[in-house]
Amino acid sequence: MAEIKIPYPQNVLAVVASLRACMAAVVWLDGEAGGRYSIIAADPQEQLVTKHSGTWLHRAQTRTFLGDGDPLALLQTRLDATAPPALAHSSSLPFHGGAIGYFGYELGRRLQGQMPSLGDGPDMAVGLYHWAFVIDHQQQQAWLVGDVPEAAIACLREPLSTNAASWQPNGPVSVSPEFIGYARAFNRVMEYLYAGDCYQINLSRRFTAPFRGDPLGVYADFRQRAGGPFAAYFELPGGPILSGSPERFLQLRDGVVETRPIKGTRARLADPRADAAVAQALVNSAKDQAENTMIVDLLRNDLGRGCVTGSVEVPYLHQLESFATVHHLVSVVTGELSPHMKATDLLRDTLPGGSITGAPKWRAMEIIDELEGGPRGVYCGAMGYIGWDGSMDTNIAIRTLTAHAGYLDYRAGGGIVVDSRCHDEFAETESKAAAFRDLIEHTGNQSCIESA
């Protein structure tokens, strides 16, 4: 398959906008803010869309029902059927073609044997892409890889007008629940914790706002406020989906698995000394370390289901990572995938991620469903790629919003343990939603993209 080095783009956003202007189903795994690679693709050969109990194959103008079986098994079948005969196995680039898409929280519930809540959008939407534009931000190099169509090359050469991404908020942020409702749910969580049902339960709140205009313009502004190393912009069924995720869920490369759970959060402060003090307090917090350790143990168990016995390790525990609006405690868990396992098997064993469910996962998910009272959708699922070469990299879809029917939908949550305090946990959700509130309340009337 082709691997053609091309000039490093100075404006990746403009590249995406140019490509989107003439090709469908654009996807952008955006690693510009602290990651290493960005991966851009469009015009997939086919799409797999799972909604409720069925999966459909979309190809050209046709739509075929694939059945009500395991969506990841169906995806693996399509990956096997469409893989080209020759892959660049020796290349250092992360992606040469394969599946790019999202795997929603409700898909995770189904895979874990629970009845998913029925939402309006798909539980899984994945495109099979035969080519991609891969950008290495560390080395400032770029490549076109795979079977690149002439239409894509032509699109990337076209200039873009500066008003292509204009948008406007069309009303204030609405939140559910507000503090009284959150406190009621928090107290119920505490009852479950003291009864011994769980050690930790993640509870989230929903933030929505009306808007008009271009979702890519929304993302252009959002990524400046909340862009993380595992950010993404997808124009797939159920979207567009705009993610500023700071958290890696699963990376698989050369048989090595890595997950980077986040647990422990403090809001950033404007004063550098005060901000440093807040960060140090987070590092020293016994409560946050305990929460993080619980999730690390959960993920060690999840990875152990598909990894070689004895290979699961924790090279980093409770490390501080700082982002635009928050500080986080991050750990790293690794393992060696068993030879008979594939990326889809690993995803099946672990979705949804433990950092956004709780421990034990099964019971925490039941309680989340009871108290939140509706589907989470893409939020707390995963977004990323599964390559034809067997590699995978996905995020935890937090700091993530969808743009649909004139509304932006965003959610923020946090893990609750027995020594949590309601006001502190509520404030943590506000810290995690600060970028979204700022996006709606302080964005100018127009967002512009300059030509590449």
Residues 383-439: pLDDT tens digits?
999 999 999 999 999 999 999 999 999 999 999 999 999 999 999 999 999 999 999
Residues 309-324: pLDDT tens digits?
999 999 999 999 988 7
Give the range of the structural domain holding residue 423, as residue numbers without chain letter: 3-442
Is 452's pLDDT higher than 60?
Answer: no
Instruction: Give the gyration radius of the chain's Cα atoms.
Output: 21
Q: Token pair of 180, please?
A: 């009284």
Is 67's pLDDT higher than 50?
Answer: yes
Q: Which residues of 359-368 are buried (b: 16+ CB within 10 A; e: fewer)?
A: bbbebbbbbb
- Count the domains in the chain: 1
Neighbouring C-alpha atoms within 13 Å toward the C-beta of 400: 28
Distances (CA, A) of 424 to 132, 201, 266: 44, 15, 10
Banded model confidence at residue 87, pLDDT cuts 50, 70, 90 = low
Residues 6+ apart with CB under 8 A from 318: 264, 283, 288, 289, 292, 293, 329, 331
Is 89's pLDDT higher than 60?
Answer: no
Tokens 């409700």 correspond to 106
In a domain, 390, yes or no: yes
In a domain, 353, yes or no: yes
Q: Are strands 200-213 and 231-234 parallel, antiparallel or unpaired?
A: unpaired
Is 450's pLDDT higher than 80?
Answer: no
Q: Token pair of 185, please?
A: 């749910």
Q: Which residues are catalytic?
A: 247, 263
Helix (H) or strand (E) holding 256: strand 256-259
Banded model confidence at residue 161, pLDDT cuts 50, 70, 90 = low
E-assigned strand segments in 80-239: 98-103, 124-129, 131-136, 141-146, 167-169, 174-176, 200-213, 231-234
pLDDT computed for residue 62 by the predictor: 93
The answer for 34, left when phi > 0, alpha when psi is -120 to 50, beta otherwise, is left
In a domain, 118, yes or no: yes
C-alpha closest to that of 237 among 137, 330, 124, 332:
124
What's the predicted TM-score (pTM) here? 0.94
In a domain, 448, yes or no: no
DSSP helix/strand/coil, 358: strand
Residue 335 near residue 311 (C-beta atoms within 8 A): yes
In a domain, 107, yes or no: yes
Residue 225 near residue 33 (C-beta atoms within 8 A): no
Mean pLDDT of the chain: 92
Residue 141 near residue 44 (C-beta atoms within 8 A): no
Q: Are strands 400-404 and 241-243 parallel, antiparallel or unpaired?
A: antiparallel
Residues 224-256: pLDDT tens digits?
998 899 999 999 999 899 999 999 999 999 999
DSSP helix/strand/coil, 116: coil
pLDDT computed for residue 449 by the predictor: 42
What's the CATH number where 134 sits? 3.60.120.10
Locate all alpha helices (DSSP H) within 5-121, ordered by sequence.
12-20, 71-82, 105-111
DSSP 8-state class, residue 337: B
Q: How far apart are CA 248 and CA 262, in angstroms?
A: 9
Is 443's pLDDT higher than 80?
Answer: no
Residue 107 near residue 98 (C-beta atoms within 8 A): no
Q: What share of the chain has pLDDT > 90, as a percent? A: 78
C-alpha closest to that of 219 among 159, 169, 165:
165
In a domain, 185, yes or no: yes
In a domain, 452, yes or no: no
Is 52's pLDDT higher than 70?
Answer: yes
Residue 326 near residue 267 (C-beta atoms within 8 A): yes
In a domain, 449, yes or no: no
Q: How far apart are CA 105 and CA 433, in angstroms?
A: 19
Distances (CA, A) of 138 to 8, 11, 101, 218, 233: 11, 15, 24, 26, 21
